[in-house]
Amino acid sequence: MKRKAYGRDRGLTLRMFATTAMLGLLYVTFAVVLFSVLNVGLVPLILIIFGIAFFQYFTSDKLALRAAGAKVIERADAPQLFDTVERLAAMAELPMPRVAIVDTDVPNAFATGRNPKHAVVAVTTGLMRRLDQGEIEGVIAHELTHVKNRDVRTMTFASFFAMLAALITRFAFYGSLFGGGRDRDSNGPPIWLILLVVSWLTYIISWVLIRTISRYREYAADRGAAVITGAPEYLMSALQKISSQIALIPQRDLREVSGMNAFFIIPASVKEKTSELFMDHPPLEKRLAALAEIAREMGRPVA
Amino acid sequence: MALKNPFGRRKRAASVARDRLFALSTARVTLEVELGLRTAGVAAVVFKPMSAGEFVRAASDLEQLLDAVSADAGSRIERKTDSFGFEWLIVRDDDLEDLVNAANLVASELANAGFDKQLLAAPFRFSGGKNPVYFVYGFKTSSFWPFVPSGDGQERDNAEELELKAKLEKELPIEPDLTKWLALYNAPI
């Protein structure tokens, strides 16, 4: 692909690289400790690692779609949405991804799939209802940039050792229960304790680093959307709409919802938990500031 | 009103809910003076009817009671069923306080007969803006939220609703969880 005039942010690329390198270093340390303390055979360890990685990698799209309750649609179901995705995919030089719809009032969108050929772009009905065409284009272009940057692969790779660490923490815990971790000699702390601590530390540090990478990917996707649509101001207004209070007010009818009995079932705590997930996105003000900067570079109007 | 305290065991819970409902009549001055909103002279209690004999009896007792009370207050009562299968006991009266009293009476009587779970909401209609404004009292949340339908279909003026929230928050128990501000499209009032 030809490099576009506004398509790079050198500082961001550098920071992204640095974080990834730190993550790599962390994992190597983790693996070394694992070998020297646990004396795990190299072969079973590698098998476990690759087993998990492959499973996660190849089922990422199905898992994400199922978790979100997304339904893959045909052109006839939503022609305008379909055309929009098709046109933007062409501009991003991507094959046409599958399109899915999540039936919920909350305006949101996501992309998944291990590579551009298996990509799915999902939007919610709330997004289509509340945003106008330009804003929807901005959001879809953002998701397509995730596909183009192969962020699913990056994040799978990044989160994979964190997962392994969590797994080993659990093993070590059971080991302690069944008295499996026999002391090497009577003076040192038991192996399972060392293992537990190392796994914990690995998990915590990698969690922070993964969040950091994820935030960088969001900036990159915002930039990509600005380049693809040539109009960052639409994505800016879309972001504002999505995160404003207004987005919380339902469009549904009270009587309809009470009939479905869904209204009172979801406890507030669950809602708070899901909003925690968004912490891997940068705060709105920073994203808007970054987009405004891009808009100025491109000579676009900024509100 | 004569029937201020006919509740026995449910007195406590009912009186808390009642205080919150009555906050609407207290907010009347702010509504009129600052927001230019006057009651459209109509309100309703929306509930899900049951076919059980006890419920039917309670409902018809209630209607008789309402007839007697409304004759005193000079308000008119009407009963309608909507397409969702909910019953609307509609009260027409030019005085907001009478509307609130009537809504409270219906709610208390049904709750007293053990049917508080059937109560859904009590919308109060106001006029004065471009669109009709409803203040919906939810019996499940014991709080109000604004509902401003705009246009004929399933649209609502969210900006206006949030502005009403900001201006009335201090006087009216407005539902803080915006995801519970559900709509009442094509309300028969």
- Residue-wise pLDDT tens digits, A134-169: 999 999 999 999 999 888 778 777 777 777 776 676
Q: Is the pTM of this model over 0.95?
A: no
Chain B CB contacts of A271 below 8 Å: 179
Q: Do A252 and B179 touch (CB under 8 A)?
A: no
Q: What is the pLDDT of residue A222?
A: 93
Instruction: Give the type of residue at A206.
Output: S
Q: How confident is the model at residue A211 (pLDDT cuts 50, 70, 90)?
A: confident
Distance separating alpha carbons of residues A3 and B87, to the nearest angstrom: 64
For B37-93, how does the pLDDT look when each residue is reduced to its tens digit (9 = 90+)? Answer: 999 999 999 998 887 788 888 888 888 888 887 777 788 888 899 988 899 999 999
Q: What is the pLDDT of residue A35?
A: 66
3-state SS record for chain A? CCCCCCCCCHHHHHHHHHHHHHHHHHHHHHHHHHHHHHCCCHHHHHHHHHHHHHHHHHHHHHHHHHHHCEEEECHHHCHHHHHHHHHHHHHCCCCCCEEEEECCCCCCEEEECCCHHHCEEEEEHHHHHHCCHHHHHHHHHHHHHHHHCCHHHHHHHHHHHHHHHHHHHHHHHHHHHCCCCCCCCCCCCCHHHHHHHHHHHHHHHHHHHHHHHHHHHHHHHHHHHHHHHCCHHHHHHHHHHHHCHHHHCCCCEHHHHHHHCCCCCCCHHHHHHHHHHHHHCCCHHHHHHHHHHHHHHHCCCCC
Which contiguous run of DSSP H or E holds residue B163?
helix B158-168
The residue of chain B nearest to residue A254, with distances taken between CA atoms, is: B182
Q: What ipTM goes with this model?
A: 0.73
The minimum CA-CA distance between B80 and chain A, rounded to whole Å, is 15
Q: Do B183 and A248 touch (CB under 8 A)?
A: no
Q: Taking residues A71-87, report their average pLDDT.
A: 93
Report whether B88 contacts B81 (CB < 8 A): yes
For A236-289, how does the pLDDT look when each residue is reduced to its tens digit (9 = 90+)? Answer: 988 888 877 777 778 778 877 654 433 333 333 344 444 433 456 777 888 888
Instruction: Name the residue facing A246 among B154, B162, B184 (closest C-beta).
Output: B162
pLDDT at residue A173 is higher than 70: no
Q: What is the pLDDT of residue B15?
A: 56
Q: Do B183 and A252 touch (CB under 8 A)?
A: yes
Instruction: Name the residue facing A256 among B84, B161, B177 (closest C-beta).
Output: B84
Chain A CB contacts of B181 below 8 Å: 249-250
The residue of chain B nearest to residue A259, with distances taken between CA atoms, is: B84
DSSP B81: E
DSSP B180: G
Q: Reduced to 3 states, what is the DSSP secondary structure of residue B47?
A: strand
The residue of chain A nearest to residue B162, with distances taken between CA atoms, is: A246
Q: Taking residues B120-126, report their average pLDDT.
A: 95
User: Sign of dihedral through CA atoms A84, A87, A93, A97?
Assistant: positive
Half-sphere exposure of A135 (CA within 13 A, CB side): 18
Report whether A207 contacts A160 (CB < 8 A): no
Determine contact: A251 vs chain B, CB below 8 A.
yes
Q: What is the pLDDT of residue B132?
A: 93
Which one of A143, A256, A276, A297 is the catalytic residue? A143
User: Sign of dihedral through CA atoms A70, A73, A78, A84?
Assistant: positive
Q: Give ∠ CA B177-B186-B178 in degrees, rounded to 5.
A: 5
Distance separating alpha carbons of residues A18 and A22, to the nearest angstrom: 6
Strands in B143-147's sheet, in edge-to-edge order, are B76-81, B87-92, B38-47, B119-127, B133-138, B143-147
| Of residues A136, A112, A144, the one with CA closest to residue A227 | A144
Q: How confident is the model at residue B22 (pLDDT cuts 50, 70, 90)?
A: very high
Active site residue A143: yes
Chain A CB contacts of B159 below 8 Å: 246
Measured in residues, chain B has a length of 189
Instruction: Give the contacts of A271 (CB within 8 A, at least 6 positions apart).
Output: B179
The residue of chain B nearest to residue A263, with distances taken between CA atoms, is: B180
| End-to-end Cα distance, chain A | 32
Q: Do A250 and B179 touch (CB under 8 A)?
A: yes
| Number of neighbours of residue A74 by Cβ within 10 angstroms | 10
For B145-182, how does the pLDDT look when each residue is reduced to its tens digit (9 = 90+)? Answer: 999 998 777 788 888 888 898 889 889 999 988 888 88
The minimum CA-CA distance between B162 and chain A, rounded to whole Å, is 8
Pairs of residues, one from chain A and one from chain B, whose beta carbons lie less than 8 Å apart = 55
Strand partners, A71: A101
Q: Taking residues A175-203, report their average pLDDT.
A: 66
The residue of chain B nearest to residue A255, with distances taken between CA atoms, is: B84
pLDDT at residue B127 is higher than 80: yes
Q: Do B182 and A271 touch (CB under 8 A)?
A: no
For A69-78, how does the pLDDT look when each residue is reduced to its tens digit (9 = 90+)? Answer: 889 999 999 9
Q: Do A246 and B158 touch (CB under 8 A)?
A: yes
Instruction: Name the residue facing A251 among B121, B154, B159 (closest C-beta).
Output: B154
Chain A CB contacts of B161 below 8 Å: 249
Distance separating alpha carbons of residues A33 and A198, to the nearest angstrom: 8
pLDDT at residue B10 is higher than 60: no
Distance separating alpha carbons of residues B182 and A243, to the nearest angstrom: 19
Average pLDDT along chain B? 85
Chain B CB contacts of A259 below 8 Å: 84-85
The minimum CA-CA distance between A226 and chain B, rounded to whole Å, is 28
For an interface test with A, the pick among B144, B182, B184, B185 (most A C-beta atoms closer than 10 Å) comes out as: B182
Determine contact: A271 vs chain B, CB below 8 A.
yes
